[in-house]
Every structure is written in structure tokens, then in C-alpha cells.
Structure 1
Amino acid sequence: MIKFKINSEFITLGQFLKANSYIGSGGEAKFFLLENDVFVNREKRTERGKKLYNGDQVSYGKDEYLIVYDKKASS
């Protein structure tokens, strides 16, 4: 599992997808989530604005991430 560090209370699913280069822009998030199976805490999600908090798990394909709050992390 890959640790994905955030330096704020939360990050949206759309921001997460962009930060991990699954999409090129925030506008692509809606279509990406409709066409691909992305899971947050083992539940399929299609909302690009879904808030991800410390301890949440995100998976797409074989990639699995753990959201970790780190106030020193760069955004």
C-alpha cells in the first residue's frame, strides 16, 4: 500500500486522481470516475468531490493508497 500524504484536513477524490496522474485536469474527473472503478474504503465512488481524510483507503486497479495527514507534506 502506498502512503499518500496530505497537509490539510482533506483532499477531494478529483484532486487525488490528478495528483497521481490518473487524469490531466480536474474536469476529467467526472468522466474518469464514471468509466473506471475507483474505491474509497472498499466502496465504489463516482463523486469527484468526495472528501478523503486521514486513514481513508483508495484503490484503483492494482494500486492501493492510504491517505496520511502530514502537516509537513507539500501540496
Structure 2
Amino acid sequence: MSEQRIGPILDGLGASIELDDGDLVASALVIAKVVDSNGEVSLALSTSKGLSWIDQNGLVMSARQILDQRHIGLKEDGE
């Protein structure tokens, strides 16, 4: 196993983020589904420097709330 820079990988997957002029990304937590050569699936995490476990949990919980709201919005749109 070797450590790889996540930027090119995310670029290859077409990942992007919407930012307004002057916005600054202060920290990041990347959650990735990884499939190995045998087809086994695992979860990988990558964090920016200095991101504490408390901050990681906050980002995950905040993202979960946003995803839950999107899911609710999709149900309402489809009704």
C-alpha cells in the first residue's frame, strides 16, 4: 500500500465544489469507497492537516444533516 495525493484522484472522479469569489476552504475531510484488486470494498478517510477528530465529527454530522434534507426535498418534489 502506498500513500497517494488525493487531489488528482478526486479530479479523475469529477469531484468539484461550488465556491463564491473570496470563499476559502479552511479544512477538508474526504470519505472514499475503495475497491481493491480482489473486489473487496473498504472505506478510506483523508483529512487536511490539523483537523481534529472533533472537527471531523462535526463535518460528518453537518454533511449528514444536509444529505438528509436533500433526501426529504427530493421526496417532496416527487410527490
Give the TM-score, by structure 2 length.
0.21
Structure with higher Rg: it is 2
Structure number having the greater strand percentage? 1
Give the TM-score, by structure 1 length.
0.22
Higher relative contact order (CA 8 A, sep 6+): 1
Structure number having the greater helix percentage? 2
